[in-house]
Amino acid sequence: MDKVTIKGFFLVGISVRTTNQGGQAMKDIAGLWNWFMSEHVLQQVVNRVSDDIYCVYTDYESDKDGFYTAVLGCKVATKDNSLKG
């Protein structure tokens, strides 16, 4: 593995709040990907910088068993972007 530093950027997309307990995250994140792809979320993001898709895990409640948020989206030019429709 190589350590890589990436300059911060804004991300627009969809998210789910989940937990690893009982395999819930596997179900929730699979559902998030299904929603993202079936609803063509990428194409709905205004002013996206590229078609690269990012999945970010954030807002951890505690440890590996606590709740956290998974965000699926793409890089945008400014923080004022949103989804069409």
C-alpha span between 20 and 3 (Å, rounded): 26
Tokens 């945008």 found at: 76
- Give domain limits for the chain: 10-76
**Confidence at residue 81, expressed as pLDDT on a 0 to 100 scale:** 63
pLDDT, tens digit (0-9, with 9 covering 90-100), for 5-15 = 989 999 999 99
What distances in angstroms separate CA 48 from CA 42, 55, 58, 74, one per listed residue? 8, 15, 21, 7
Query: According to the model, what pLDDT value does residue 82 have?
Result: 65
Going by the DSSP 8-state scheme, the letter that residue 22 receives in this structure is: G
Of residues 31, 35, 14, 37, the one with CA closest to residue 83: 14
Tell me which of 44 and 79 has the higher pLDDT: 44
Confidence of residue 64 (pLDDT cuts 50, 70, 90): confident
pTM, rounded to two decimals:
0.85
- Number of C-beta neighbours around residue 48 at 10 A: 19
